[in-house]
């Protein structure tokens, strides 16, 4: 199912999320407005806020606080992007120059901080201490994931276990928190809440596994960023980790040097080695397994158009080419 059809049951919620984002980005400081609007207005699939409003409606939530919750998730995600691009020295995201490339590293870091603090102001407005606890823990976990990824950089001995820990903390945790917040807002039973936690975690993991494969195989224009960024930054993601363990001695030596040195000079030969070792197929199998686990977690929810879109969202996460 295409993303537009997945969005249909919550089209009005998504429109209101856009309104809330614009309203809550407002600042008396001109540069804050410029940078925040640049990055938030830069497009993107908005899968995280989409999953929040779908989850809330699928759990039977009749109110409107899920819109603010979805905007909070998007603000936190956007803050991490601003900080990531500075740390990674990235110059392209979502098909255009990164904010740090346009406005400078200092402005990007500080506006990222602004988005974090705005998100926590909005959390207070929801008036639910459990939601604040979930989101505070998630934000802390994401920060730890960033540090773990930094520790893995340029290390060809990074294990699959260490890699999966990073993507859980960096990516899946925010999907998980958003789905859990949706369940809390809905007053869902503990069993349904934990089901939504599992859905978000597996969905986010599947999404990141596919993202890491696309970094070697996608069309750069369609992907919206430079292909080979992970290799350029010396990040050993699963396709490469698998290839390191299943390649010939010559290819293994070449792959180790590529991780240690970074850069994209060896991108073509590294991609060939990954394909030859079956790294892309292995990553795709794991992504499909995670998507299936996400779908299985939804079995406690009643049938609805929202539930159908949650299932389709998991399929989209692994079937996309961008």
Q: Distance between CA 231 and CA 270 in Å, rounded?
A: 9
- pLDDT above 90 coverage of the chain, percent: 81
Structure tokens at 161: 């276990």
Radius of gyration of the CA atoms of the chain, in A: 19
pLDDT of residue 45: 85
> How far is 189 from 194, CA to CA, in rounded Å?
9
Cβ count near 143 (within 10 Å): 15
For residues 95 and 292, the model is more confident at: 292
Q: Is the pLDDT of residue 220 over 60?
A: no
- Phi and psi torsions of 250, nearest 5°: -65, -45
What is the distance between the alpha carbons of residues 56 and 63, in angstroms, rounded to a whole number?
Answer: 9
CA distance 71 to 102: 24
- Helix, strand, coil percentages (3-state) for the chain, rounded to 5, are 80, 0, 20
pLDDT tens digits along 150-181:
999 999 999 999 999 999 999 999 999 999 99
Query: What digits encode the pLDDT tens for the residues 22-37?
Result: 899 989 999 988 888 8
Measured from the Cβ of residue 28, the count of other Cβ atoms closer than 10 Å reads 6
pLDDT digits (tens, 9 = 90+) for 115-142: 999 999 999 999 999 999 999 999 999 9
* Domain layout of the chain by residue ranges: 3-319
Q: What is the pLDDT of residue 225?
A: 61
Q: How far is CA 188 from CA 4, 196, 317, in A?
A: 28, 10, 25
According to CATH, the superfamily of the domain at 3-319 is: Farnesyl Diphosphate Synthase (1.10.600.10)
- For residue 320, give the 3-state DSSP assignment: coil
């Amino acid at each position: 199912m295409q993303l537009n059809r997945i969005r249909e049951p919550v089209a009005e919620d998504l429109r209101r999320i856009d309104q809330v984002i614009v309203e809550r980005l407002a600042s008396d400081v001109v540069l804050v407005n410029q940078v925040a609007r640049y990055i938030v207005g830069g497009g993107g699939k908005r899968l995280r806020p989409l999953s929040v409003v779908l989850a809330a409606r699928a759990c039977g939530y009749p109110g409107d606080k899920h819109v603010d919750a979805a905007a909070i998730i998007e603000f936190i995600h956007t803050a991490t992007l601003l900080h990531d691009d500075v740390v990674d020295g990235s110059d392209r995201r979502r098909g255009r120059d990164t904010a740090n490339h346009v406005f400078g590293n200092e402005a990007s870091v500080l506006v990222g901080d602004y988005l974090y603090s705005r998100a926590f102001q909005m959390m207070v407005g929801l008036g639910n201490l459990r939601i604040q606890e979930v989101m505070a823990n998630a934000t802390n976990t994401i920060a730890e994931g960033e540090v773990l990824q930094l520790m893995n950089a340029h290390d060809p001995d990074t294990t699959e276990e260490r890699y999966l820990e990073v993507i859980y903390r960096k990516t899946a945790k925010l999907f998980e928190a958003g789905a859990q917040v949706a369940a809390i807002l809905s007053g869902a039973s503990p069993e349904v809440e934990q089901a939504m936690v599992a859905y978000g975690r597996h969905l986010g993991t599947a999404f990141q596994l596919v993202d890491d494969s696309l970094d070697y195989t996608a069309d750069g224009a369609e992907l919206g960023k430079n292909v080979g960024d992970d290799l350029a930054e010396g990040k050993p993601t699963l396709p490469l980790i698998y290839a390191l363990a299943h390649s010939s001695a010559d290819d293994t030596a070449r792959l180790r040097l590529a991780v240690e040195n970074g850069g994209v000079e060896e991108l073509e030969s590294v991609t060939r080695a990954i394909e030859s070792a079956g790294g892309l197929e292995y990553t795709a199998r794991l992504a499909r397994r995670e998507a299936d686990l996400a779908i299985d977690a939804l079995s406690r929810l009643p049938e609805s158009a929202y539930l159908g879109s949650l299932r389709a969202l998991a399929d989209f996460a692994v079937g996309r080419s961008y």
